[in-house]
Structure 1
């Protein structure tokens, strides 16, 4: 009998991956949807799928679509099935009847963004994450034409660097380091102003460049650094959603709002980047480590409720891999999924990501994996 039950489990295990890989459309998915300005690709994908990153599978063998990640306001999405009974999404040809004639609507504007542009835009345009090497020869503000410690719009700034006359530059201030344990991965930088170079300099001859301040976010100070607006700003707002096909193991190391807990649409920083083969659009799970339990003669208790001796046993045991004693047993509970996020700006060793879904408040220190 046991062998028969085991055989059933093996057969079920063989079937389960196939079931898991089957594309399932939500029961309440709309049969027809008109894309509107302000929509995001993630939101529309979520209307149809519980796993929105499987969006391209809905466009399988669809000759109308070159890139399923680029759809436009006015596109009419129509849900149907193919000859094999699989769900498929199509774009209606956009014909509107206007009596007594027919007009074909074909003009395209900008593709809708993958995530809310209002949240992404400051990061896509200006915010930077720079390493010490990046900062080694960046032009800096020496002072201004006014004997003020802080500059405002209209002031002329003198910059230690050879700027290109007529070009627009961002003025930045170095923020907190992004750390992974004791290792600094990069430094946060914040935009404090925008200026236009009115005169180039010649640093070799001791002549600074001149920059006129045209917009101020915060007071500009001597020591703030200067970078061309175009530098590092070629990140797009529409990108391919995908689950990485290699093992990913990282964590959230910072949040944009600096709160201890945060929810959906929050921007976070990960200790992962292109070095781990991640790209804009990569979707990862957020995991929360369940509390550790120490079991002794008094029964099981969470580690924070245990005695100092039991906590010490747990700490030393974790360090040396011997977590059980004659009197106590340390139980490390599994991690549980508490949300999902999508990367939208990727550097070598860190990434900016938006939290797209939560079941519990997200925290700095939570793990991310595929």
Structure 2
């Protein structure tokens, strides 16, 4: 009996010691100026709340889940009181439950990119619109479109009408082992734009073209409309459009509608594996020429193949330049000064981003916060990187 009691006490003491260590580790992540408590407000996000009292706001899941009284940090509601005073432990005093719980991020910032964009390795083999009802050039809700290669379709099945809008590529130059990527806008048929041709329906903008052997990362498919199969038979399938989003053109492609193709809750975490240095870059910025700021959406030149999943957090860095040493080389033209006459400047931190939708070779991420704009071509590193 004595041995059993001693053993039990030993386990209790060990558990208490482990809890003390956990509390110390948790306290080490708090800002010194954090308040004693915080009342959750409508419009808050878990990231923004954590940024008020954590040195690393992307670590909030690990810290909050260390507290057993918080069953699910995603079930924190406006009106809840977050207490930080007792041993620097996070605790939640429930408030009213008459509003939706707060999320890690504001879903309205990314909703169009969750619902309307996807990445595919190719699009040429997808079924396509060959004509519009009554030989119209474009079709909208209420009109029939006629589709080829929609084998096996049955009346009542739902499809999304999509249009290739962007082509992602990347190369690794043998001369300096650097990764370089670029994007190209596509016309309404999915063909690469040439010369001064511009498709004003494009959603993303192009980065600078780089020469070298390219790896195709994928094609961005933008949703144009949705429709329901009404008639099948022969080589042509009739689909009735029911979405006013954008006009449908001959050449647009069809993919099956997915009931829930994306996550609605996100747990920020560090990358689960480290890809080759420089491999991950900002490939594009939504609705901007080259730069993006807080709450802008960016595309990353990596996906599940590189171990990225939804919630992965990266820090974004401006690549340090090779500056000419003018003190040493005077007014010589830059072109005649080799690498030996240049100084490698350090990388500079720009922002943190969190991935919210992942494909095999490309991911979409949201700029969470930063000290300077996020630019196409900037490199991604571990969220705690110091250089």
Q: What residue in structure 1 maps to residue 252 of structure 2?
A: 224
Q: 1:34 to 1:198 in 2, by over 3 A?
A: farther
Q: What residue in structure 1 maps to residue 346 of structure 2?
A: 334
| Residue 66 (structure 1) shift | 2.8
Instruction: Specify which of 216, 223, 231 is matched with residue 184 of structure 1.
Output: 216
| Residue 122 (structure 1) shift | 1.1
Distance in 2 (alpha carbons) for counterparts of 1:142 and 1:346? 31
Instruction: Specify which of 144, 149, 153 is matched with residue 156 of structure 1.
Output: 144
Distance in 2 (alpha carbons) for counterparts of 1:178 and 1:121? 22
Contact 2:130 2:147 in 1 (8 A): yes
Q: What residue in structure 2 maps to residue 5 of structure 1?
A: none
Q: What residue in structure 2 maps to residue 89 of structure 1?
A: 90
Contact 1:286 1:366 in 2 (8 A): yes
Q: What residue in structure 1 maps to residue 164 of structure 2?
A: 174
Q: 1:346 to 1:108 in 2, by over 3 A?
A: farther
Map 1:307-322 onto structure 2 (within 5 A). Answer: 307-310=334-337, 313=338
Contact 1:346 1:352 in 2 (8 A): yes
Structure 2: state its 5+ residue gaps.
1-23, 171-180, 182-213, 383-387
Distance in 2 (alpha carbons) for counterparts of 1:20 and 1:363? 35
Residues 50-88 of structure 1: CA deviation (Å, up to 9, x unaligned): 31111134325422223334433443322233xxx3x22
Contact 1:146 1:155 in 2 (8 A): no
Q: 1:157 to 1:289 in 2, by over 3 A?
A: same
- How many pairs were matched up? 312
Q: Determine which structure has the larger strand proportion and give its number.
A: 1
| Residue 127 (structure 1) shift | 0.8
Partner SS state of residue 54, structure 1: helix
TM-score, reference length from structure 1: 0.76
Q: What residue in structure 2 maps to residue 33 of structure 1?
A: 38
Map 1:1-370 onto structure 2 (within 5 A). Answer: 23-59=28-64, 61-81=66-86, 85=87, 87-94=88-95, 110-132=100-122, 135-160=123-148, 161=150, 162-180=152-170, 181=181, 182-199=214-231, 201-202=232-233, 205-206=234-235, 208-230=236-258, 233-248=260-275, 249=277, 250-295=280-325, 298-299=328-329, 306-310=333-337, 313=338, 323-324=339-340, 329-370=341-382
| Residue 31 (structure 1) shift | 3.1
Distance in 2 (alpha carbons) for counterparts of 1:21 and 1:29? 13
Residues 142-198 of structure 1: CA deviation (Å, up to 9, x unaligned): 212221111122111112214343333221111120121422201111111122233
Distance in 2 (alpha carbons) for counterparts of 1:146 and 1:57? 59
Distance in 1 (alpha carbons) for counterparts of 2:358 and 2:330? 43
Give the root-mean-square deviation of aligned CA atoms.
2.6
Distance in 1 (alpha carbons) for counterparts of 2:142 and 2:51? 47
